[in-house]
Amino acid sequence: MPPFFGDDEFSFLDTYRERSNDEDESDNESSQTSSSSSVSENNDEQEFVYTSCATSFDLPQTPVAHGTPVGGQEDSDDDSKDDEPSPWRGSKAKKRQEDSSEDDEDEDKEGEWDELIASFFGELGECDDERTSGEGGCDVDFGVDFDFFFGESTSAEENGDEKEISSDDKASPHTNTTDPPGETNSTPKMLFSVDKVLRDGLFFAGFTDERIAKCGEKRCTDRFKAHYGVGPKTVVSFLEDLFNKHPSLKYKDVFMTLNWLKTYSVSHVMAAIWGPCEEYINPVLEDYIAKFASLKEGKIRLDRFNDETIIVFSIDACHFMTDEMALDPSTRWYDFKKGGAGVKYEVALSIHTNEIMWIRGPLEASIHDISMFRGYTTKDKKKNKVDKNAFIFCIPAGKKGVGDSGYSGEPSKIITTRKGQSKDMKRWLGRVKSRQETFFSRVKSFNIMKNRFRHGKRGTADKLLRHKHCFESVVVLLAYDIEHNPLFEV
């Protein structure tokens, strides 16, 4: 086979030198009228071209025809040829060599990525420290998982700490599958503070740190109440007792449950705001509501009867709408106030302190207030049984309460407005009853108590149980709330 570059493989170098010398001589003759500086520049340029060519040029190899074996290491991919099989093709040694070369390339790429990312994010740690210390600085937490770039990232459920960053490098509040920057979706490891709870609650609701900082304390508090029903001071006291009793609860899910009690949104809307899917939200709400209600044992007590005061409490019943009891249709559930199916609860408040003394229910909406007070469980006389744990059996001798005209049948226990009473007495009784209605208005400020209750599809018992948990959860929240925002004095 003839050489690629002629008789002599390196004859092109001699040709290149002769041509370069001829060009230099012609250039010197034509540039006699030029300045000395231009001559020197041409010489430098020629030297540069020759040097670069000599130093960077690789000696050419004699071309090899396609399919010609080289050094016993044939590796043709054309399986259709009838050549003799090579011992190198398909051998274990060849496979080990290829695997080793691929690993080396991956390590080199990973090292380059580490250096590039480290140089880019080098100062973000200091920025984050300044933000968390409250002294300004960056208000975005770059939760970057560098393993993601090399195919080693884990799912959000495995990490338990997923953070979303929008395209403009701002935390996206309405994709809140995460906690606020610096927090994990688990039991908080620090003491609760009003500022922290206020900020976290607004962040979960969709407000960015920038918007929170621009607003005053009153505006932020009003927004917090609009999403969770009570103020941040109340939530701080509530969270402390809740996590002491149920430390396994998740911080963000507690706020999600409070928001559900206040707004009573459907699960599809909750999924858009809070991040998790409907299959996660529904069982979490049912479980957390029951745990909220379990705090009633420490907040609803009858120890006010230990005081020397004779008139101790006020009492009344409150009605709530529900869906029809499809598996137990009856006129017993008819609520004459609402014009549909419903249930009712009995609530007693301490007159001289901001405490809730008693709650009972749910019972059928048609049952009379005084019948409920006496311990009857239904208006059906054939099925009526007296509950010995009713409130009338818990009132010590000599103690009384205040009620409306519906309780006039028990004058030994309940004082009602009657003829012959002084104006001051009637005015005082009116204020006590108005205070009771004020508490009910706070209960119905939560949409889950104001609107028709739609949950409990597994039967009447399930509907009543779930409504009871929701009512008790709201009452427990208000028991904490009236400690910080008391009802008016009488």
Look at residues 294, 283, 184, 305 and name the one whose alpha carbon lies nearest to residue 245.
294
In terms of Cα–Cα distance, which of 97, 136, 144 is closest to 116? Answer: 144
Q: Which two tokens stand for residue 79?
A: 């399986």
Q: Which residue has the tokens 């899917």?
A: 277
Q: Helices marked H in 324-459 — which ranges?
A: 369-374, 423-443, 447-450
pLDDT tens for the 490 residues of the chain, in order? 444 445 555 555 555 555 555 555 555 555 454 444 443 444 444 444 444 444 444 444 444 444 444 444 444 444 444 444 555 556 666 667 676 666 666 666 556 656 655 555 554 444 444 444 444 444 444 344 434 333 443 443 344 343 333 334 444 344 444 445 545 445 445 578 999 999 999 999 999 999 999 999 999 999 999 999 999 999 999 999 999 999 999 999 999 999 999 999 999 999 999 999 999 999 999 999 999 999 999 899 888 787 778 999 999 999 999 999 988 899 999 998 889 999 999 999 999 999 999 999 999 999 999 999 999 888 766 677 888 899 999 999 999 999 999 999 999 999 999 999 999 999 999 999 999 999 999 999 999 999 999 998 889 999 999 999 999 999 999 999 999 999 999 8
Query: In the numeric block, which tokens belong to residue 246?
Result: 């149920």
Rounded Cα–Cα distance for residues 456 and 278 (Å): 16
Tokens 């092109």, residue? 12
The answer to whether the CB of 340 falls within 8 A of the CB of 383 is: no
Angle between helices 460-484 and 423-443 (to 10 degrees): 120
What pLDDT, on a 0 to 100 scale, did the predictor assign at position 451? 96
CA distance 248 to 135: 32
What tokens does 131 get? 């933000």
278-293 helix and 251-263 helix, angle to the nearest 10 degrees: 90
**Following CA atoms 16, 20, 21, 24 in sequence, which dihedral angle do they give, to the nearest 10 degrees?**
180
> Within its chain, how far is the Cα of 176 from the centroid?
5
Exposure class string for 381-392: b at 16+ Cβ within 10 A, else e = eeeeeeeeebbb
How many CB atoms are closer than 10 A to CB 280? 16
Question: At CA 192, angle to CA 188 and CA 194, rounded to 5?
Answer: 140
Phi-psi region of 436 (alpha: psi -120 to 50; beta: other; left: phi over 0): alpha
CB-based contact 313:351 (threshold 8 Å): yes
> What is the spatial distance between Cα 368 and Cα 363, in angstroms, rounded to a whole number?
10
Q: Please tell me whether the peptide bond between 362 and the residue prior to it is cis, using omega within 30 degrees of 0.
A: yes
Residues whose CB falls within 8 Å of the CB of residue 462, separated by 6 or more in sequence, listed in order: 456
Confidence at residue 377, expressed as pLDDT on a 0 to 100 scale: 83
Q: How far apart are the first and last CA of the chain?
A: 117
Q: What residues does 318 pair with on adjacent strands?
A: 345
What is the 3-state secondary structure of 91-144? Answer: CHHHHHHHHHHHHHHHHHHHHHHHHHHHHHCCCHHHHHHHHHCCCCCCCCCCCC
Tokens linked to 333: 């559930």
Paired sense of beta strands 340-350 and 334-335, if any: antiparallel
Q: Which two tokens stand for residue 192?
A: 């609760």
Cβ pair 298, 443 in contact under 8 A: no
Alpha-carbon gap, residue 432 to 66, rounded angstroms:
104
- In this prediction, residue 81 carries a pLDDT of 44
Q: Return phi, psi of residue 171, to 5°.
A: -65, 130
